Amino acid sequence: MASTSVRQVTTRQGQILELAAAGLSDKEIAHRLTISHRTVRTHFERLFHHYQVRNRSGVVAAWLQEKQPTIPPRPADECPYSRPFPEAFTDCPSYQAMEVMTLDIGYRPLGRLWTCRHLQPRRHAADDRWYASCVVGDADARQRWATTLGRERLLKIEALRQELTQVTAPFAEPLWRHKRRQLELMNEGRPADDESRWLQLTTRRLASRIDTLLARRRALLDEIHIPEDACRELIRVALDRLVTQPSVDVQIDVPDEVLARFPLDMRLFFRPQPLPDGVLRVSA
């Protein structure tokens, strides 16, 4: 039965499912395969009917379960955990929760899900499939990363992240709603100045709220080796990107000039780089 179901998935659907399993959004999949995001959505709707499920994560899980016998050995850096992650996920020592707003083809918010900051899509060398690669490395490297930074510090960083989430939560949907309108106007070749101005003013208000939180938690920032000024700059870079980027694809990399303002141990947190021998180094 399982093998029959696998054969009924077309080559294009298999490519879409592989990229979805690696954590890519519909728009990212469309860009990677040079097709329209509506085509991606149409394939998913057919797959929903085929697998008798109602959502994207369900069809990916069903496909992976059926396909598992034909998948070659897992790459050492592949994330071994089911995704999206549950909100209270703690199984991986290097897991860094990142809340993602999922959008429909009209940029309208559909809901939130949890992924990991360390995951990136990568093509499998053996069979050309896509998988979710952990930038930290294999299981041993993930454990070394967590040990080097220290469990207590990681817990404190996570607590601070949760406080930041509480501050940003009321802003999330209005920001995406206006970002959607900004992109619609830009795609239509119409002026988007009003929407851009609203986004600028709102992100400034959000930055001010975050500044207040950081000032209140200054002692904690010192304890976990995060310079307050560098943290403010990092947040402003992220908010500026939200206003100016011509898509809703979030860029989570830390610019070199901002990274340089953090101490070496926190650079390891933001940008881990496993060497061939598995030793973690700090990217300068």
Going by C-beta distance under 8 Å and a sequence separation of 6 or more, which residues neighbour residue 158?
Answer: 97
CATH class in words for 1-71: mainly alpha
Q: Tell me: cis bond preceding 84? Omega within 30 of 0 counts.
A: yes
- Which is it for strands 109-116 and 97-103: parallel, antiparallel or unpaired? antiparallel
User: pLDDT digits over 4-33, tens only?
Assistant: 444 478 889 889 998 998 888 888 899 889
pLDDT at 2: 38
Q: In this structure, what are the phi and psi dihedrals at residue 98, rounded to the nearest 5 degrees?
A: -140, 120
What are phi and psi for residue 115, nearest 5 degrees? Answer: -130, -170
Beta strands in the chain (DSSP E): 97-103, 109-116, 119-123, 130-134, 272-274, 280-282
> Residue 124's pLDDT is what?
81
Q: How do the domains of the chain map onto residue ranges?
A: 1-71, 150-282
Residues lower than pLDDT 50 in the chain: 1-7, 275-284
CA dihedral of 191, 195, 196, 200, whole degrees rounded to 10: 160
Give the per-residue pLDDT at 104: 64
Each residue of 239-276: pLDDT tens digit? 999 999 887 766 667 889 999 999 988 999 998 865 44
Q: Say how far apart CA 196 and CA 184 lie, in whole Å.
A: 12
Are the C-beta atoms of residues 105 and 41 closer than 8 Å to each other? yes
Handedness of CA 77, 78, 83, 89 (dihedral sign): negative
